[in-house]
Structure 1
């Protein structure tokens, strides 16, 4: 297993900045890290019930990518299967989490959990399957095991 030391957060304001910055497309490219993806997703799930993430998250991420000069193609940008896998992982984590904990503590605990690891989807997908064009364009079911 690869050593994994995520960047942790110190305040709920940091998490809100990431979630709202994603929505408004005001984050700097350098802010959009793995940790930021999971922090923003957690924020949106818990603090923005007005947004249907299952329906709207793909467009939100694609639009953000384009706003920072990125592209959404067969080889870079938005990845449907990875997004869906991590959305499921965040929800799974939150089912067991303390709903009264400060938001940044929840995110930090998520980042330190199995679901927060960058390689979490590779528990269920072979590298070839997960990083295929088909998986980037559309959700594909895992080929190594069932997503919880």
Structure 2
């Protein structure tokens, strides 16, 4: 998937708002979040990631609107999922192994939020603007972490 150097470069390019738009995939979002949480202790990811993504979108030509761009609930969800995953990862694991493991796990699935939210609620303007609690199932990552080694 990505080498350690590619993950570092990806995370730093998002911070610098220089990542090509075509490279800003679901996997890149997850890899950047893992990098920031694991390696950039100077950044309070829960507080700063929304603004980082918002500003990156503006520079890359993605409008942050009620229908496109930054999505608060999905961002907060994946921050929590990555934190849960990282808490289970043995010390000393390479960034590339962590990202590959996360993406291969149920937590890395692009459609995972739909296990917890109905599509209507998750895609609502409210969920895009602010955190909206799940309406299908309580957030519990433990059953999804059973494959982490």
For the criterion TM > 0.5, the same-fold answer is: yes
Q: How far does the alpha carbon of each residue in 1:64-118 deviate from its partner, in whole angstroms, 9 at most, with x for none?
A: 0001111100000000000000111111111111221110110000000111000
Q: TM-score, normalised by structure 1?
A: 0.93
Aligned partner of 2:76 among 84, 105, 111: 84
Q: Is the aligned partner of 1:121 residue 2:104?
A: no
Unaligned residue ranges in structure 2 (runs of 5+): 141-149
Partner of 1:105: 97
- The number of aligned residues is 140
Matches of residues 1-148 of structure 1 in structure 2 within 5 Å? 8-9=1-2, 11-148=3-140
The separation in 1 between residues aligned to 2:95 and 2:25, in whole angstroms, is 18
RMSD after superposition: 0.7
- Cα drift, residue 55 of structure 1: 0.9
- Cα drift, residue 139 of structure 1: 0.4
Q: How far does the alpha carbon of each residue in 1:12-35 deviate from its partner, in whole angstroms, 9 at most, with x for none?
A: 001001110000001000110000
- Cα drift, residue 120 of structure 1: 1.0
The separation in 2 between residues aligned to 1:129 and 1:69, in whole angstroms, is 26
